[in-house]
A = this chain, B = another copy of it.
Amino acid sequence: MRRVVVIGGGSSAGAPAAFTAKAFYKDASVTLIKREEKTLVPCGIPYVFGTLKGVDDNVFSNERYEKRGVSLVIDEATKINRERKVVRTASGREIPYDKLVLATGSSSIKPPIEGIDLKNVFFVEKDYEYIRRFLEALGGKKKVVIIGGGFIGVELGDELRKRGLEVSIVELMPHCLQAAFDDEFCELAETKLRERGIKIFTGCKVESILGDGEGRVRGVRLDGGDVLDADVVVVAVGLKKEVSLATDAGLEVDERYGVVVDEYQRTSDEDIFAVGDCAFKRSFFTKKPSMIMLAPVGSYEARIAGANLFEPRRRNEGVIGTFSTAVGDLALAASGLTERVARAEGIRYVVGSVEIPDKHPPTMPGIRRIKMKLMFDAKTETLIGGQLSGSYVVGEIANIIATMIRKKMTVDEVATAQVGTHPLLTAPPAFYHITQAAEDARAKL
């Protein structure tokens, strides 16, 4: 019997890799090795602090493995022996494989800031026990400073505010969420954060984390000397790829971009695949290496690797990058390139912009406005990016845009999208946001 082993039980990469492998190769045994009994759903972690009832509300059920015929081993993979094709575990087991998938993920960057080891300084680790302790530590606390205004920092800030904490976010860049959005959308998010009572310090560097003399955190000192008081500090400045198993096994690993894979997700060893945060990625647009680490990208790669284990069937076309998030009742989403990135890459582009209600006619109760911009390559006239904000429906609208980007649809194809519309559900047919934004861009090309 053919044996497939997956290392890493993340719900977005390891799990779908195992499920896809089992779906494509029904005769194969599929074993998944993961360190902890209880695995958190990574994107749900900020929400255990406010919207959900706690950490147990955000656990990826192990029953799913059983239901799909995947054997589960709760243990730590400590070494891959490529010659003998076995994985050794911390408990001393040896698990043989014909094909191996690495989905070892990422962990929080621990920047070398003075005071980072103080008590009540936390990271947003994908670790049940750690997050449980973090949540527990919030009891009786009042002031939180979050270092890092990316998705995780912003979402966590919003959720901690729901608990009634006083929240400050410190971001090094000129704007929060700057990796995904251009300035005008970042500003919408920042305005909403401020409306919700969150203090934002952008363009600010943290000089040090301050202790109270008894090992507990008491605040954060910014470059320039200002001090923000804090009972709790959260550090969310980015992710580090977990590649030590691959490196130790002698696989080709890029120091910055992770375990090197080809378009079939194969590593330098043809019997070993890598998917998710730990794996090397390329941009859909420039084919250059990409630092994007996102749950749905992990799932995308997992569906490719799982299908390709014993024969090449699916190809990775490069990462488009589609994000969505919410601050209070405002959702924001983006797909593809931002203007900032396009400029840096020297890509000439044209922007179409609209603000359109999400229902129709304009008198419809509960109506909200969707603000959208689409970017088209000025030379090829194909869609290369989109950003939007509005009600929660923008999360799925971004997936229409992502699909159009992937299929390299031209401005005229986008302007003549064959969509469905309905008064209670969507923008009006003659002023549908995506087609209107494309017509706006068309007029500038």
Contacts and interface: CB of A to CB of B under 8 A. Distances in A.
A420 B432 contact: no
B12 A361 contact: no
A364 B52 contact: yes
Interface residues of A, number: 85
Interface centre among A11, A319, A428 (most CB of B within 10 A): A428
B439 A303 contact: yes
Question: How many chain copies does the complex carry?
Answer: 2
A417 interface: yes
Contacts of A326: 422, 424-425
A239 to B, nearest CB: 16
A324 B421 contact: yes
A397 B304 CA distance: 23
A41 B418 contact: no
B418 A406 contact: yes
A47 B12 contact: no
A137 interface: no
A23 B299 CA distance: 42
B393 A392 contact: yes
Given A326-B422, A419-B399, A421-B324, A429 B47 contact: no
Contact of A331 (B297, B425, B432): B425
27 contacts: A11-B428, A12-B429, A16-B430, A41-B428, A43-B421, A43-B429, A52-B363, A58-B363, A294-B420, A296-B418, A296-B421, A299-B429, A300-B416, A307-B412, A319-B418, A323-B420, A324-B420, A392-B393, A392-B425, A394-B425, A395-B422, A395-B424, A399-B426, A400-B400, A403-B417, A406-B417, A406-B418
Given A361-B58, A412-B314, A322 B419 contact: yes
A443 interface: yes
A322 B331 CA distance: 25
A43 B359 CA distance: 11
Contact of A393 (B324, B363, B396, B406): B396
Interface string A402-421: 11101101001001111111
Mostly, the A contact residues are: mixed
Interface in A293-309: 294-300, 302-304, 307
A335 interface: yes
Nearest to A398: B420
A365 interface: yes
A420 B402 contact: yes
A174 interface: no
A422 B45 CA distance: 11
